[in-house]
Amino acid sequence: MAGAGRPDRWRQLLTKDSPDTLAARLVDGSQLADPKLRQRLWDGGAAALEAAHDPMIELARSVDAPARTVRKSYEDEVEAPSTPRPKKSRAPAFACMARAVPPDATFTLRLNVGSVQGWK
């Protein structure tokens, strides 16, 4: 995730505004609280979103590409190495044990005091 918190990305997002000023401008200038507008955007699809000049939509457009880059980097560098490899069969590991003490269904070690035997 190299560069995810780089100052130049924050400056690019904030432009000349402080975080408080930017938030106020986005919230006050947005019309997305109007259900009719949201319905028109939904019905209009991608073309309606591209034509929209709502500050919140413009903010989302401006952070989309960098956010996808950071996400891809995270998936490649953090999640991918921790993805477990396909497990090989455990049968050979328990083959010699299976005759003496059969493993239970989860292959966890079973500890008993003595052997289990039937009765008459």
Residues of the chain where predicted confidence (pLDDT) is lower than 70: 1-11, 13-14, 82-112
pLDDT at 89: 61
pTM given for the model? 0.53
- Annotated domain spans of the chain: 7-82
Tell me the percentage of the chain whose pLDDT exceeds 70: 62
CA dihedral of residues 107, 113, 115, 117 (deg, nearest 10): -110
pLDDT at 65: 87
Query: Exposure string (b/e) for 109-119, b if CB count within 10 Å is 16 or more?
Result: eeeeeeeeeee
Provide the mean pLDDT of the chain: 77
pLDDT at 1: 45
DSSP result, 4-54:
TT-HHHHHHHHTTS-HHHHHHHHHHH--TT-HHHHHHHHHHHHHHHHH---
